[in-house]
Amino acid sequence: MSTLNLGILAHVDAGKTSLTERLLFAAGVIDEIGSVDDGSTQTDSLALERQRGITIKSAVVSFALDDITVNLIDTPGHPDFIAEVERVLSVLDGAVLVVSAVEGVQAQTRVLMRTLRRLRIPTLIFVNKIDCLGAQYERVLHGIADKLAPAIVPMGSARGLGTRTPDFRPYGADDAEFTAGLAEVLADQDDAVLAAYVDDGTALSYGRLRRELAGQVGRGLVHPVFFGSAVGGAGVAELSAGIRELLPVAEGDEDGPVSGTVFKVERGPAREKIAYARVFSGTVRVRDRLPFGEGGEAREGKVTAIGVFDRGAAAQRGEVGAGRIGKLWGLGDIRIGDTLGVSRTASAARHFAPPTLETVVAPCRAADRGALRVALVQLAEQDPLINLRQDEVRQELLVSLYGEVQKEVIQATLANEFGLDVEFSETTTICIERLVGTGAAAEFIAKEPNPFLATVGLRIDPAPLDSGVRYRLEIEPGALPLAFRKAVEETVRETLRQGVHGWQVTDCTVTMTHSGYWPRQSHSHGVFDKSMSSTAGDFRNLTPLVLMSALKQAGTRVYEPVHRFRLELPADAFGPILPVLARLGAVPGTPEQLGSSCLLEGEIPAARVHELEQQLPGLTHGEGVLECVFERYEPVRGTVPERSRADHNPLDRREYLLRVVRRVAGGRAGA
């Protein structure tokens, strides 16, 4: 059987988990449809998910659709857990984006669709909840075309909206208006179709139109739209047929070299690591010695067990081949984002914005500090974007967040799974630093004031927005041993986590311009003499001093995150809320009247979002609904925020050397 790895994505509460249940029920995998409210769904298996009625972790289930095995990945809809969606995107063959027929296109829906289109992931749109009061057809279609994707194809008409017995009727070959509209949409995307359409409209038979539609959907150019109700079942059969006909199945050579991607890591009952991996090429077998890593870092482990998804659950198998998703046991050092075997791409691009909030986590009992760090390390395995950071000076543990709900989930997880009661400091906003100009610095071996047996020269240049940190060599690769080169690159990336003002430096290129070392030397009796031989430690210790000197020369500017907000409120609350938005630094757009309500969109500094959330109930009689998503970074106006350093502070050479030199064996690097 062929395999299709399918993602279900949506704004929170649009009904994607309910759609997952309905698809499993229709395929005969489950005998009864679970309820999100009752906590009885297949994919929301965590106790916290059942309690809150939201998806927190991505989950994989499987069902058969004719001759296709569909591995369906249910992802979180709440923006606080966008990192889970981030990791899933790299393993998908196609996606279904769920939109509410009542609320229409929402903030998170736009974020998701922008990313799906940018990555050219074949995507169907399912407009859910047509049985709910307030459901609409034309308005939602216009919203999808205006805000999500202009090239959409409504695949049928919806009737009885807002009633208990709605109906979705698919269009067919006899619907002249549908076939004409389909031909126009397809012709806009393909010159060959356009030529056939212009020269002789009869050449575009209905069969050819359907084949062209599948081809353009597969290339991420056109997006069919289905309407229905996941709870009642209307339109789900038509959606299933669309999945079967229009989305491309997985491809891959089972006999080729092993290549795969780890998109999820969890702990089993015995706290053992279990890796969820999509295999793109080759076959992974039990007892294989499997190389894995990220960014050129090589590790290896022995696969002790494999689970392959089949009819709802993961069944134990001896192997998992190309195109499939498997659960792998035995790889103790595995991490999310690791490549299995041969890498498919040079690097994994980030699709969504990183977390913009940060908080200190502290145990309620001082004796639990060590256990808390161990627990947070394990949580960081499952969600690397919490960016666990330890402030050695203040003995504090810090985590990055997307929002307050994520903080509550971390707190509950630590209590339920690790027996740790914790408290959080007030959440603060994470800024970034970008370069103003170019800077360069170098320190040479055996020349003052360099106390280390290494030569390092670095230049740092601005790079395009959202390009991250790039590292390259201007020296000959053979001029420096690989271990020393890796030590410099790793230290560069680590050092740039705290710039001149303490914030992470991004969108820059660091170039190694000078290098030098003393080869390994021994006394006549063969004992290694560390005092006259360079080590990787020399390069790790010297690099922060050189890099921060170059960074100070270049200069940096601090940028703060700005969110786009969507605020729906009673019309009589519009006047009172405007001065509050102005005081918070928000820039509202033109309001839109929606009956007795008012819709207002605009931008607001991320640091002021929580304050707006707190004031909103009082200003709108409890009826205001606020949605916020990250938009971009803007230069900070006014006082530049400083972040306290959590390292040995290479900006202060004397302090840095006093702290670092103590760790240098033999005291050979006196300050």
pTM reported for the whole predicted model: 0.78
What is the pLDDT at residue 1? 76
In the Cβ-directed half-sphere of 196, how many Cα atoms lie within 13 Å? 15
Classify the phi-psi angles of 116: left when phi > 0, otherwise alpha if psi is within -120 to 50, otherwise beta. alpha
Using alpha carbons, list the distances in angstroms from residue 8 to 77, 83, 147, 240: 10, 15, 19, 13
Rounded CA-CA distance 627/147 in Å is 16
Q: What domains appear along the chain, each with residue ranges and CATH number?
A: 2-172+220-246 (3.40.50.300), 259-341 (2.40.30.10), 357-430 (3.30.70.870), 433-554+647-667 (3.30.230.10), 561-635 (3.30.70.240)
Q: Which phi and psi angles does 326 have, rounded to 5°?
A: -130, 155
Give the tokens for residue 66.
């004719």
Rounded CA-CA distance 585/579 in Å is 10
What is the pLDDT at residue 547? 98
What is the pLDDT at residue 163? 94
Helix axes 206-218, 176-189, angle to 10 degrees: 40
8 forms bridges with which residues in the sheet?
Answer: 74, 96
Q: Which of 421, 613, 446 is nearest to 516 (CA)?
A: 446
The dihedral sign for the CA sequence 438, 443, 444, 449: positive
Which mean pLDDT values do the consecutive 10-residue runs of the chain (671 residues) have?
91 88 88 64 55 70 91 83 84 95 88 89 97 95 93 96 94 93 91 77 80 95 96 95 95 92 89 92 95 78 92 86 94 89 64 83 94 92 85 83 86 91 91 97 95 96 92 92 94 95 96 93 57 88 97 97 90 91 93 85 91 90 84 91 88 90 46 35
CB-count exposure of residue 54 (10 Å: 0-12, 13-18, 19+): buried
What is the pLDDT at residue 597? 85
Give the tokens for residue 349.
């691009």
pLDDT in tens, 543-601: 999 999 999 999 999 999 999 998 989 988 999 999 999 999 999 999 988 778 888 99
Helix axes 653-660, 536-554, angle to 10 degrees: 170
What is the pLDDT at residue 59? 84
Give the tokens for residue 436.
């103003």
* Pairing verdict, β 597-605 and 289-293: unpaired
Length, in residues, of the chain? 671
Q: Strand, coil or helix: what is 180?
A: helix
Give the tokens for residue 85.
């969606």
Judge if the upstream peptide bond of residue 449 is cis by omega within 30 degrees of 0: yes
What is the pLDDT at residue 353? 77
pLDDT in tens, 161-202: 999 999 999 999 999 999 999 999 999 988 888 887 776 655
